[in-house]
Amino acid sequence: METFSCSICADPSHKICIYCTKDACNNHLCHRCLRCSECCHCDMPTNEAEEVNEAPEELALEPELENA
């Protein structure tokens, strides 16, 4: 497998952004939409080291009640 350079940080990369087709390493490729961090519009961080903002427990959805 040929190694390329990430267009964002120049680290070795084996994947491309499905939107702009630039080379992107795992740290700059969204695992949700497969776009690079420049093209991604997801609310999820692209790097696992970044914090994920979760909704507070009081805002969590209530389970649906069954209609009897």
Please check whether residue 46 lies inside any domain of the structure.
no
Which one-letter amino acid corresponds to residue 18?
Answer: I
Can you tell me the mean pLDDT for 25-34?
93
Please check whether residue 2 lies inside any domain of the structure.
yes
What is the model's pLDDT at position 43?
75
The per-residue pLDDT of the chain, averaged, comes to 77
Please check whether residue 9 lies inside any domain of the structure.
yes
Please check whether residue 50 lies inside any domain of the structure.
no
> Which structural domain range is residue 8 located in?
1-38
- In this predicted structure, which of 5-9, 35-39, 62-66 has the lowest mean pLDDT? 62-66
**Integer Cα distance of 35 and 33 in angstroms:** 6
pTM: 0.56
Please check whether residue 49 lies inside any domain of the structure.
no
Burial 11-47 (b: 16+ CB within 10 A, else e): eebeebbeeeebbbbebbbbeebebbbebbeeeeebe
Please check whether residue 8 lies inside any domain of the structure.
yes
Please check whether residue 53 lies inside any domain of the structure.
no
Question: How many structural domains does the chain have?
Answer: 1
- In this predicted structure, which of 10-14, 27-31, 47-51 has the lowest mean pLDDT? 47-51
Please check whether residue 45 lies inside any domain of the structure.
no
